[in-house]
Structure 1
Amino acid sequence: MKFLKEMFKNWWIRLGCFLCGYNYSLLKSCSEASKKAVKKYTAALLIVMMLWALIGFLFTKEYLKFGDFGSSIAAIIMVIIIVQVERQIILGTKNTYSKWFRVIIGFIMAVLGSVIVDQIIFREDIEKQKLFTVANEVNRLLPQRTKEINDQIHALDSILNGKELERILLIEEITQNPTIKIPSSTTSLVPERIETKQIIDGQEVTVYKDTTYVKKSFTTKSMTNPKVEFIPTINEQIEKIRYNRSELSKQLIDVRKGLRAELLEKKGFLDELKVMFQILVSSKISMGVWILWFIFFLAIELFVLVSKYGDKENDYDKMIEHQKDVRIKSIEALIS
């Protein structure tokens, strides 16, 4: 119980020593100024850690498509990286090169952080702008995917126009000639008595001879124009062609919808970055918000650096230097 009470009594300093890389056994014997410095570094470091844990979680979930567990692991990894980077400043000496190197890293991280956060803040605006971008992309890619279907539609249109013209001409012809006259002939045998004069025994005698002859009579009759029967067949062909064309049109619409859904489903970081850049360039208000976020992130990133270079050397640092000097002298004495 006494150990736990002692541990919880100085839990903030213990946490600070763990994060900053300080030795708690040495620090607890130092002055309050050294402990105050550790507390200050810890507070600044926790702000950076929480900020980048959130950014790492959101970025992994949005663009890498990890679940909550995977995004949490990514957030922890991001925190570990940040802690290791900040330790280079906290535990290092006040070196000009390391200072400027940290400033460059802070600038890059501030840009990345502000971009990722702005993509979340401007989510609705990005989605609206992306709809226009996707529409343009669909119009660009659609002809490549629908060329064969369009060729079939054009062919059906040509056939359909030909059939409709054929039907119009047929209807006009039937209208002008609704009926046609067909000639017919009949034959019959007609009896006939032929009278001839003959001289028999010096006298003229009338002789009758019965015979038949074939008689032909010609008539005409009217009937409905037989081309009327072609109209239902042509109508059936036209309906079939229209149905096939309608099916192809549905396929064309499905291709457009599928391509649009495919482009909207693929959420790329660079694609959304381009869209967000268009929004920032076109709107001064959006640009102002992004600049404010950038300054905020840059200030957070340089928080530890400014704290480190703004402090004077304390007794913990002098103790570390003293131990180093004693150790070096001991080694030199052993060598000599």
Structure 2
Amino acid sequence: MAAKPTVAFIGTGGTISSLGRDSLDILDYSATDRRLDAQAIVAAVPELARVAEVLPVPFRAVPSPAIGFAEWRDLVRLCEETVAAHPECAGIVIGHGTATLEETAYALSLTLTVPVPVVLVGSQRPMSALSSDAALNLVAAVRTAAAPESRGRGVLVVLNDEIQAARDVTKTSVTRLQTFRTPDFGILGHVDGDRVHYYRRTERAHAPGTPFDIRSLAGLPRVDIAYAYADADGTAVRAFQAAGAEGIVCAALAPGMLPPAEAEAITAAAASGVAVVMSTRAGSGLVPLTTRLRDEGILSADTLTPQKARILLALGLTVTQDRRTLAEFFARY
């Protein structure tokens, strides 16, 4: 009988680690402020032992709104240390709250240094809930991380039996189990029972091998998101500039337009040297690089959502201020 693969599990907190008041508490469970660490989560799902030798790796357990650059940097380091200490490790699973899971997944997909598959997993219901999706999502994520076919596909996101690409996936529902979707391109594959099935792969570049090395950084350049709406007058844009923003991402009206006063403020920001990227609040679709955007030195986010465009712009600004190179990053990643 073949030996089971070794998969590391890093728990960062979130719903997948949470315990509510009782089995029917599926909405207000954060009020208990009870979260299991990685070792306790693995112990709570004994079925994992049938899939792999799961190695719990200590981290900190927090709600996902508390996760940002510092945690991304520390996860990059921890993944590197874990693979170095356990060369037999076939893959890594990171448990994460769903609120910012897509942002952590994309940040790691641009900055990781390890060659093994890294899979982010969360749940919509806490571990303690009736019909919780936490345990089965975790089993599916471990299967995916252990699968040889998962190598070379970049960071993956697994929930609801579906495998998604970190760059493209987004959370689309507050409470439904099928919340994570890839609107333009669809899923990469399924985890059906004991099998992992892939049907496509992402064409965009990803780590390892990117120019974005955050392991020794204290922080990222400040990049803010300006949300467009009828009658937006540019106040937020000017406030971001005053706060020292090196970049601004526009969550613009589709397909990449702004109300007149907001457009005036953004044009002035770009002229002053702020790196400006035009995304859209629509949630899907490519922002066309129009003549106006080119003339004003504004970049297109391609198909990235505003929150992911912010990550790529901030990482890009750690490498260069050159607009042409930044544009190449958005075309490549």
Could you tell me the TM-score, scaled by structure 1's length? 0.18
Structure with the largest fraction of strand: 2
Structure with the largest fraction of helix: 1
